[in-house]
């Protein structure tokens, strides 16, 4: 799996990582089966995001009317998903249960992929057939040594709640589980060589999650049908988060014998991927790092387009929070030697602020503009990817600028609009400098 191990993602992001705190990256009930106290789905016409509880203040009283097995599923969710558990539990109505089960099914699949003690001759069939276990009431797996092995050992508890879901949810979860399992198996012994293969790997372990979640959103009728149909935007949501994980966790993955940085990128700067961690190769390492950050940034315009379509507040929070965490993480990683020598993470206070702010489109675009500007200020005139970096930052800025202008309801000039306008002007100046290439030119930090 990209050499030795695998990364897959859930919640548009990660099975084993969250952007709010530190982690590790790898990849409802309907038909009258639950009481009205659990919250029935009410279809809503498209409308601006309405006032809604923030996930930090979710009331968990709905658990009182749950079955014992569903209650256990939420226990597993809280044990395995860390900070995403609260966001999942803030989802409205039956969608909450569908996403919870979706998460746990993919967590179980990922646990199989990650377990290096399972021989390949056994692991490959397990990954290929995993979706069929959802309809085998007694199936479980007791041979894993992974820390989250409980979701495999007690899989009957998860699968029974899967079978309690409406058909529209079961079809989505089973299909994504099948496609993801096949993709994981493909990369068990295959290194991520080209940038195209990097996209393919991230699609299997994260893009499919975005596509599956989007189909669940539409199936619940909380979001328009188009949200589930536009697989390109949904795929970009997952790829942006997964690439951020892979970039940030270079050192951790190296220490665990895993390799996820694409060879096409790192081979331009080093003979071996592990050489990038050597002090004498710092300049080359930063060039490779910045190349990959630039590649990840190209998904941000799709992220903005996707989020702008959402109408349900709980779904918006669920999708937006990981994305703003990701752009903040990329900003922290860009041109940062610490990626190769330690841990790069968002401060807890910063993470909490982002979570509290990212509840409407205008705020999200303001955050994206802010961190895009931070990256801009770190772009060196000597960086090989400078022109591409400035170009994509320019596109991101234009998207943020147009959204900020539309979202402002005040009669005066919005601070977000001013910030985006200043960023656009700075980007244009930088981009022109890059293309002109004057001798002895300096970037905004004087490099």
Structural tokens at position 199? 């996209």
Contact 285, 340 (CB under 8 A): yes
* C-alpha span between 93 and 248 (Å, rounded): 35
Quickly list H helices, 298-341.
300-309, 313-333
Across 427-446, average pLDDT: 39
Evaluate whether residue 366 is within a structural domain.
Answer: yes
- Closest alpha carbon to 403 in 365, 438, 371, 375: 365
| Catalytic, out of 19, 133, 169, 318 | 318
**What tens digit of pLDDT does each residue of 186-209 get?**
999 888 999 999 999 999 999 999
Please spell the DSSP secondary structure of 388-446, one letter per residue: HHHHHHHHHHHHHHHHHHHH--SSSPPHHHHHHHHHHHHHHHHHHHHHH--TT---TT-
As a whole number, the mean pLDDT across the chain is: 82
Evaluate whether residue 39 is within a structural domain.
Answer: no
Query: For the chain, first and last CA: distance in Å?
Result: 39
* C-alpha span between 53 and 55 (Å, rounded): 6
Q: 423-440: string of b/e by CB count within 10 Å (b at 16+)?
A: bbebbeebbebbeeeeee
* C-alpha span between 240 and 225 (Å, rounded): 23
Q: What's residue 126's pLDDT?
A: 98
Evaluate whether residue 373 is within a structural domain.
Answer: yes
Q: Which domain holds residue 242?
A: 75-407
- Find the Cα–Cα–Cα–Cα dihedral 10, 16, 19, 22, rounded to 10°: 170
* C-alpha span between 226 and 233 (Å, rounded): 11
Compute CA distances 258 → 191, 238, 305, 312, whole Å.
10, 20, 33, 38
Is 318 catalytic? The answer is: yes
**What tens digit of pLDDT does each residue of 271-297 get?**
999 999 999 999 999 999 999 999 999
**What tens digit of pLDDT does each residue of 349-394 get?**
999 999 999 999 999 999 999 999 999 999 999 999 999 999 999 9
Evaluate whether residue 344 is within a structural domain.
Answer: yes
Environment class of residue 255 by beta-carbon count within 10 Å: exposed (0-12), middle (13-18) or buried (19+)?
exposed
- Find the Cα–Cα–Cα–Cα dihedral 253, 258, 261, 266, rounded to 10°: 100
* C-alpha span between 445 and 427 (Å, rounded): 14
Contact 328, 354 (CB under 8 A): yes
Q: What's residue 87's pLDDT?
A: 86
Q: Would the pLDDT of 442 be above 50?
A: no
Structural tokens at position 158? 């998860």
- Find the Cα–Cα–Cα–Cα dihedral 359, 360, 366, 369, rounded to 10°: 90
Is 74 catalytic? The answer is: no
Residues in the chain: 447
Calculate helix-pair angle for 313-333, 300-309, nearest 10 degrees. Answer: 160
Evaluate whether residue 15 is within a structural domain.
Answer: no
The residue assigned the tokens 């955050």 is 367
Whole-prediction pTM value? 0.80
Evaluate whether residue 30 is within a structural domain.
Answer: no
Of the pLDDT bands very low, low, confident and very high (cuts 50, 70, 90), residue 311 is: very high
**What tens digit of pLDDT does each residue of 246-277 get?**
999 999 999 988 899 999 999 999 999 999 99
Is 163 catalytic? The answer is: no
Q: Would the pLDDT of 411 be above 70?
A: no
CATH classification at residue 292:
1.10.600.10
| Catalytic, out of 17, 26, 107, 248 | 248
What's the Rg (C-alpha) of the chain? 22
**What tens digit of pLDDT does each residue of 11-68 get?**
444 443 333 333 333 442 223 333 333 333 333 333 445 444 443 334 444 555 789 9
| Catalytic, out of 102, 141, 169, 201 | 201
Is 201 catalytic? The answer is: yes
Structural tokens at position 288? 């490779």
Evaluate whether residue 213 is within a structural domain.
Answer: yes
Contact 12, 81 (CB under 8 A): no
Q: Would the pLDDT of 447 be above 70?
A: no
**What tens digit of pLDDT does each residue of 125-178 get?**
999 999 999 999 999 999 999 999 999 999 999 999 999 999 999 999 999 999
- Report the domain count for the chain: 1
Evaluate whether residue 442 is within a structural domain.
Answer: no
Please list the helix, strand and coil fractions of the chain in percent, rounded to the nearest 5, in that order.
65, 0, 35
Compute CA distances 419 → 7, 355, 367, 416, 443, whole Å.
36, 21, 10, 5, 20
Contact 11, 81 (CB under 8 A): yes
* C-alpha span between 275 and 310 (Å, rounded): 44
- Closest alpha carbon to 81 in 22, 27, 21, 15: 15
Q: What are phi and psi of 208, to 5 degrees?
A: -65, -30
* C-alpha span between 445 and 75 (Å, rounded): 49
């Amino acid at each position: 799996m990209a050499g030795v191990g695998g990364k897959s993602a859930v919640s548009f992001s990660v099975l084993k990582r969250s952007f709010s705190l530190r982690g590790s990256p790898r990849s409802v009930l309907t038909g009258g089966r639950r009481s009205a106290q659990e919250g029935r789905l009410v279809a809503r016409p498209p409308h601006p995001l309405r006032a809604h509880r923030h996930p930090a203040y979710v009331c968990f009283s709905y658990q009182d009317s749950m079955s014992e097995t569903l209650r256990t599923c939420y226990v597993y969710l809280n044990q395995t998903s860390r900070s995403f558990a609260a966001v999942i539990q803030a989802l409205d109505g039956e969608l909450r249960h569908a996403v919870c089960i979706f998460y746990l099914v993919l967590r179980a699949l990922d646990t199989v992929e990650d377990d290096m003690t399972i021989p390949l001759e056994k692991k490959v069939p397990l990954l290929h057939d995993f979706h069929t276990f959802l309809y085998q009431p007694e199936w479980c797996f007791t041979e894993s040594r992974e820390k989250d092995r409980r979701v495999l050992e007690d899989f009957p508890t998860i699968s029974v709640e899967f079978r309690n879901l409406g058909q529209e949810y079961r079809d989505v979860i089973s299909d994504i589980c099948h496609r993801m399992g096949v993709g994981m198996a493909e990369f068990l012994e295959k290194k991520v060589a080209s940038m195209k293969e990097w996209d393919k790997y991230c699609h299997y372990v994260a893009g499919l999650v975005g596509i599956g979640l989007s189909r669940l959103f539409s199936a619940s009728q909380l979001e328009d049908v188009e949200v589930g149909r536009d697989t390109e935007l949904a795929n970009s949501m997952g790829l942006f988060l997964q690439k951020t994980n892979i970039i940030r966790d270079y050192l951790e993955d190296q220490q665990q014998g895993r390799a996820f940085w694409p060879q096409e990128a790192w081979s331009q700067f080093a003979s071996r991927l592990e050489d990038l961690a050597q002090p004498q190769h710092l300049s080359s390492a930063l060039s490779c790092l910045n190349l990959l950050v630039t590649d990840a940034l190209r998904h941000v315009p799709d992220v903005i387009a996707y989020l702008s379509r959402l109408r349900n507040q709980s779904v918006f929070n669920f999708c937006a929070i990981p994305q703003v965490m990701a752009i903040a993480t990329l900003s922290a990683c860009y041109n940062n030697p610490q990626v190769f020598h330690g841990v790069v993470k968002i401060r807890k206070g910063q993470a909490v602020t982002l979570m509290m702010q990212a509840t409407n489109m205008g705020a999200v675009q303001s955050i994206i503009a802010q961190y895009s500007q931070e990256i801009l200020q770190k772009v060196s005139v000597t960086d090989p990817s400078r022109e591409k970096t400035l170009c994509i930052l320019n596109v991101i800025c234009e998207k943020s600028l147009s959204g900020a202008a539309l979202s402002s309801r005040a009669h005066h000039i919005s601070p977000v609009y001013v910030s985006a306008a200043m960023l656009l002007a700075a980007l244009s100046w930088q981009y022109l400098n890059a293309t002109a290439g004057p001798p002895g030119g300096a970037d905004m930090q004087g490099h």
